[in-house]
Amino acid sequence: MVKQVKLGDIAVDVVLKNIKNVYLSIYPPTGRVRISAPLRMGLDTIRVFAISKISWIKKQQNKLRGQQRETPRDYITRESHFYLGKRYLLDVIEENAPANVILKHEKIELHIRPDIPTKKRQVILEEWYRCKLKEILPEMIAEWEKKMQVSVEQFGIKKMRTRWGTCNIKARRVWLNLELAKKPVHCLEYILIHEMVHLLEHRHNERFKTYMDKFMPQWRAYKDELNRFPISHTEWNY
């Protein structure tokens, strides 16, 4: 059940869940505010918590509202697309053969049958991104399992509207956002390490930050870099 508290002209959606801690999130594109809180917590307590974070909330909302938006894609020849942080020009090649995507020099070749609609072209290219991440991640995960002395039982790739990644701690399963295939490798690695650190520390507390400092000292710079990319799916969590 979603409730709401008002902080002047800011509406805060409140969701009471079977959790131990309070989570404050700001969602794109408008800066919608949401607090997830334990079932036992009263609205007055939640309001006090929200008021204590009002400066942070306004700062993140201003970031979101001023940030560049992603241009909608038409999946046509000479359109710009990104892979691992590098810009490529899309080359759409129509032929009577099964769909295929080939990375060639400065281009991403999209081989499709004639008259394939835009949505289907998007699906084909996204599946290619998914396959490329699945090629990259096993070795990266294995490397960090050794360094961190943890084990990831399973990983997956999926489209996420508001997160770069998630970790199911009990199942030891990591999910990463498909959009990370477009970002630089160090940003992909930062999100992977972030989720794997949750296997050592569940919360985003000082202990969590200490682990991040240990395994990736420059993680804050990578976080800022991700947040500067054109926005469509990022979330700020306090």
3-state class of 171 per DSSP? Answer: coil
Per-residue pLDDT, 4 = 87
Asked if residues 141 and 155 have their Cβ atoms less than 8 Å apart, the reply is yes
Per-residue pLDDT, 125 = 97
As given in the structure block, the two tokens for residue 24 are 């404050």
- The domain spans of the chain are 2-66, 118-237
3-state class of 130 per DSSP? Answer: helix
Residue 196: Cβ within 10 Å count: 24
Q: Is the pLDDT reported for residue 74 higher than 80?
A: yes
Q: If you average pLDDT over residues 197-226, what whole number do you get?
A: 94
Asked if residues 28 and 62 have their Cβ atoms less than 8 Å apart, the reply is no
Q: Is the pLDDT reported for residue 25 higher than 90?
A: no
Model confidence at 236, pLDDT cuts 50, 70, 90, reads very low
pLDDT in tens, 156-207: 999 987 789 999 999 999 999 999 999 999 999 999 999 999 999 998 899 9
Give domain 118-237's CATH architecture: 2-Layer Sandwich (3.30)
Per-residue pLDDT, 235 = 40
Least confident of 30-39, 146-155, 213-222: 30-39
Instruction: Compute the mean pLDDT over every residue in the chain, rounded to the nearest whole number.
Output: 89
Per-residue pLDDT, 234 = 38
Model confidence at 31, pLDDT cuts 50, 70, 90, reads confident
pTM: 0.74
As a whole number of angstroms, the longest Cα–Cα distance in the chain is 64
Sign of CA dihedral 42, 43, 44, 47: positive
Per-residue pLDDT, 59 = 87
